[in-house]
Chains A and B, each alone.
Chain A
């Protein structure tokens, strides 16, 4: 398009951004969004349906026209005149002058209040549209303030104009199949009206949709297109540079850069908010002694027993073993656990360990609530599942009826999903303890949900790093039922069951209760501390693995500690028709799974690749009289236990079977 735009006509509107922010936004949006989503920009203004429609038509026709090249030979002056007139309608806006719609050059031209709207010649209008996309907004505004009949007149004019240029003359250019249009289907559908006045609602809906789309935040940062354009146009309006369109790209780049590098006040120093400062703030709260009251009372209260264990002592012993976190981190963990104990009704608490993740780690605390303090959440979850089962049963009955009616029926697959094994009750088996996690000492503790057998079974099959966010999805094959919180809980359950050990005799069974003959179940699931335990010499602890026993229940292949027959019919299942019973008869009986009973010595543990799953060490060979016996698990790297007359266990590691090894962990 070659004619040099003449400057003289003062009142030429231009797609500069000296307008009100609203209009500017629309324009820049239009500019920013290349041909397709042009109508999006329109929604900025609360225009009524007609105005939008006309403007969109203008946009479309403009887009259309742009695909045809410089056919029209309109005099710039005419266009200018036309737009000037429209500008006048808006009133009182000053626009830098602009050359008629040549996309390459837009010379600012002062805006003068002109006369009334003149219905311009079609050709000139079209030319304008062709050249200056932003001009459309001017038309928009003008149209907005015009009385309706004029609008209609313009509208019809535009339509006729479109007909001149468009291939299909049915509804105007917006309905043509021109690939250059690239309008989204919603817009196309929206445009597909004829000469009638459409209902305002679809248009408003489209306005809201488009605005919502613009307000979407970008993937990389928290900025949305809407906000960025607001920033950009405000900046341009404030600075009022000469020839803004030609420096638009650099202005855009500068606005983006400034968003991420906020300007510092040149008179005052603004200290940076660094990550480390924020962390320190959070941890400061830990060190403050909670509660008001007299100092003496506080001291008395704290001397009494607290559920928080003596972490510093255990950290010392683990350090002797060559394991553990630094002492200040241990202290922070201690204070964080103290905070947890204050917040929740906890009877016993233990620092289970730390699990390292890709972008953050987890500190895990193992707690037991006081009697009767179970969360209400458990009940709610159960109700939901029961409701689901009832509806399923109902649905099956209906399905059976339908089948009888239809003669030609697709063969019903005989595969039934394996029955869901119910999870264990709280305070028993795998769910004996509750676990709280947090990312760093100072952050709030999050409670992990109880683990279900299905999750344990699946966790055995996959091996994934933890990311450090509890709500991250676990993408794996076979698909894991749950997110990272569930996977974490399942791994904690597996590690606990496999590696919680104690010296022989430290725990003993209570007096025998119940009948051992009951279905051969491993009936003993409780133990108590042996008051008569005298401790085993450290050397013996190191020499023989038989001196250590597991004090956690083994998890059966089913995923639970106590075996449950999955084929046992519950009351709900019996409501189903006879079909179900027949199917069940064909299935073989499931064998009961039995695992090693509680308090089994370590020497009975299965070997991995001809190596023992445990390694024992003396912590210091130079002074055996004071050293600690350390047992390390070869199955779960990072699980350590020490004993020096007592026992403890800690697990710190990347979790999971050691990468690179060939065996699957049990």
Chain B
């Protein structure tokens, strides 16, 4: 949710039952303004909240002018002091895939994971149990990245691509009409397109290169249960 329209977006998203208490809301509004000034972001988005056992993480993301450039992720425990998270890498993903269970809420907490590794000692090859320490921060980073890649969605027409390459917010976008809002094809994944180049030339002919430069939700597997478009007065 954009920091500028935070209150409105919170109201709209309240149908799921998760919300923010008034003190959190107030502190978010204040601190996100400061983050935007300090880090010189073009837009600051309140990403959400990750629940932990002892404390919850509040996550925000900062975008630069080019909306599709890699985003900076920040986290906070009290919605006032924000810390930058390192960018996600593939090996982080692999490393943290072995950790299961809830987040503890303590960013310095380390998960211990014992692995069997083959160690060459001269001519002998034996397996040794190695205890790998995985920091919760790393796990946080990779989880946020996974969630973003899977479910970060933007409606068609909200962003447009300039001939020079950068992607900008479309100021003339007024929203989707009722019939368009129900269709999955009017929503895109908000990340680097993966399937776009696999489309046939015929399909590409129908696309508008300035608006349709991202993957659509239509072809996500599994069909039918991957995405549902709900319309309601309160959703």
Nearest-CB residue, chain B, relative to A630: B21
Binds B, one of A61-69, A70-78, A250-258, A612-620: A612-620
Q: List B214-234 residues whose CB lies under 8 Å from chain A.
A: 225, 228, 230-234
* Of A326, A358, A609, A632, the contact of B228 (CB 8 Å cutoff): A358
Residues of B within 8 A of A274 (CB): 178
Binds B, one of A106-114, A235-243, A316-324: A316-324
Given contacts A321-B21, A324-B19, contact A465 B11 (CB under 8 A): no
Residues of A within 8 A of B101 (CB): 609-611, 661-662
Q: Separation in Å of the B127 CB from the closest CB of chain A? A: 25
Residues of B within 8 A of A391 (CB): none
Given contacts A325-B14, A661-B101, contact A440 B232 (CB under 8 A): yes
A264 within 8 A of B: no
A361 to B233, CA, bound (A): 13
1/0 per residue B1-32: CB within 8 Å of A? 00000000001001111111111100000000
B23 contacts A620, C-beta separation under 8 Å? yes
B202 within 8 A of A: no
- Interface footprint category on B: 20 to 34
B15 contacts A325, C-beta separation under 8 Å? yes
Residues of B within 8 A of A324 (CB): 14, 17, 19
The winner among A322, A328, A360 for most chain B CB atoms within 10 A is A322
A283 to B233, CA, bound (A): 11
Q: List A589-643 residues whose CB lies under 8 Å from chain B.
A: 609-612, 615, 619-623, 632, 634, 637-638
B225 contacts A358, C-beta separation under 8 Å? yes
A279 contacts B14, C-beta separation under 8 Å? no
B21 contacts A661, C-beta separation under 8 Å? no
Residues of A within 8 A of B178 (CB): 274-276
Q: List B119-176 residues whose CB lies under 8 Å from chain A.
A: none
A383 to B16, CA, bound (A): 42
A321 to B17, CA, bound (A): 11
B23 contacts A359, C-beta separation under 8 Å? no
Nearest-CB residue, chain A, relative to B17: A652
Q: Separation in Å of the B81 CB from the closest CB of chain A? A: 13
A280 within 8 A of B: yes
B225 contacts A465, C-beta separation under 8 Å? yes
A356 within 8 A of B: yes
Residues of A within 8 A of B23 (CB): 620, 622-623
Given contacts A274-B178, A275-B178, A329-B234, contact A354 B17 (CB under 8 A): yes
Residues of B within 8 A of A623 (CB): 23
Residues of A within 8 A of B199 (CB): none
A623 to B22, CA, bound (A): 12
B53 contacts A326, C-beta separation under 8 Å? no
Given contacts A465-B225, A661-B100, contact A320 B78 (CB under 8 A): no
Given contacts A326-B11, A465-B225, A615-B53, contact A356 B21 (CB under 8 A): no
B197 within 8 A of A: no
B100 contacts A329, C-beta separation under 8 Å? no
Please report whether the interface of chain A is mostly helix, strand, loop or mixed according to DSSP: loop
Q: Separation in Å of the B98 CB from the closest CB of chain A? A: 12
Given contacts A321-B21, A323-B17, contact A280 B100 (CB under 8 A): no
B20 contacts A322, C-beta separation under 8 Å? yes
A264 to B18, CA, bound (A): 43
Residues of A within 8 A of B53 (CB): 611-612, 615, 634
* Of A275, A325, A465, the contact of B17 (CB 8 Å cutoff): A325
Given contacts A359-B228, A611-B53, contact A319 B21 (CB under 8 A): yes
A528 to B225, CA, bound (A): 45
A653 within 8 A of B: yes
Residues of B within 8 A of A661 (CB): 100-101
A634 contacts B22, C-beta separation under 8 Å? no
A491 to B190, CA, bound (A): 35
Nearest-CB residue, chain B, relative to A652: B17
1/0 per residue A1-13: CB within 8 Å of B? 0000000000000
Nearest-CB residue, chain B, relative to A316: B22
Nearest-CB residue, chain B, relative to A610: B101
B21 contacts A326, C-beta separation under 8 Å? no
A653 contacts B78, C-beta separation under 8 Å? no
1/0 per residue A654-666: CB within 8 Å of B? 0000000110000
Q: Separation in Å of the A329 CB from the closest CB of chain B? A: 5
Residues of A within 8 A of B225 (CB): 358, 465
Nearest-CB residue, chain B, relative to A663: B101
1/0 per residue B24-58: CB within 8 Å of A? 10000000000000000000000000010110000
Residues of B within 8 A of A319 (CB): 19, 21-22
* Of A322, A361, A632, A637, the contact of B24 (CB 8 Å cutoff): A322
Q: Separation in Å of the A318 CB from the closest CB of chain B? A: 8
Nearest-CB residue, chain A, relative to B105: A615
Q: List A344-369 residues whose CB lies under 8 Å from chain B.
A: 354, 356, 358-361
Q: List A271-292 residues whose CB lies under 8 Å from chain B.
A: 274-276, 279-280, 283
A274 to B21, CA, bound (A): 34
A541 to B97, CA, bound (A): 35
* Of A276, A326, A354, A359, the contact of B230 (CB 8 Å cutoff): A359
* Of B19, B21, B102, the contact of A620 (CB 8 Å cutoff): B21
A356 to B14, CA, bound (A): 12
* Of A356, A611, A619, A620, the contact of B16 (CB 8 Å cutoff): A356
Q: Separation in Å of the A624 CB from the closest CB of chain B? A: 12
Q: Separation in Å of the A148 CB from the closest CB of chain B? A: 57
A65 to B24, CA, bound (A): 81
A326 contacts B14, C-beta separation under 8 Å? yes
Q: List A297-344 residues whose CB lies under 8 Å from chain B.
A: 319-326, 328-329, 332
A276 to B231, CA, bound (A): 9
Residues of A within 8 A of B20 (CB): 322
Given contacts A322-B24, A622-B23, contact A653 B17 (CB under 8 A): yes
Residues of A within 8 A of B16 (CB): 356, 652
Q: List A514-531 residues whose CB lies under 8 Å from chain B.
A: none
Q: Separation in Å of the A229 CB from the closest CB of chain B? A: 27
B21 contacts A619, C-beta separation under 8 Å? yes
Q: Separation in Å of the B22 CB from the closest CB of chain A? A: 7
Residues of B within 8 A of A619 (CB): 21
B21 contacts A322, C-beta separation under 8 Å? yes
* Of A275, A320, A332, A637, the contact of B21 (CB 8 Å cutoff): A320
A211 to B19, CA, bound (A): 56
B17 contacts A320, C-beta separation under 8 Å? no
B100 contacts A621, C-beta separation under 8 Å? no
Nearest-CB residue, chain A, relative to B49: A322
A637 to B101, CA, bound (A): 13
Given contacts A359-B228, A609-B101, contact A325 B21 (CB under 8 A): no
Residues of B within 8 A of A361 (CB): 15
Nearest-CB residue, chain B, relative to A279: B233
B233 contacts A280, C-beta separation under 8 Å? yes
Residues of B within 8 A of A332 (CB): 234
Nearest 9 pairs of A and B residues by beta carbon: A652-B17, A326-B14, A322-B21, A620-B23, A329-B234, A358-B228, A320-B21, A609-B101, A279-B233
- Having A280-B233, A326-B15, A632-B51, one finds 17 other A-B pairs with CB under 8 Å, namely A275-B231, A279-B232, A320-B21, A322-B18, A322-B21, A323-B17, A323-B19, A326-B19, A332-B234, A356-B16, A356-B17, A358-B228, A359-B228, A361-B15, A609-B100, A662-B100, A662-B101
- A→B interface (CB under 8 Å): 274-276, 279-280, 283, 319-326, 328-329, 332, 354, 356, 358-361, 440, 465, 609-612, 615, 619-623, 632, 634, 637-638, 652-653, 661-662
- B→A interface (CB under 8 Å): 11, 14-24, 51, 53-54, 78, 100-102, 178, 225, 228, 230-234
Q: List 26 A-B contacts (CB under 8 A).
A: A276-B178, A276-B233, A279-B232, A280-B233, A319-B22, A320-B22, A321-B21, A322-B18, A322-B21, A323-B19, A326-B15, A328-B234, A329-B14, A329-B234, A332-B234, A354-B17, A356-B16, A609-B101, A611-B53, A611-B101, A615-B51, A615-B54, A623-B23, A632-B51, A652-B16, A661-B101
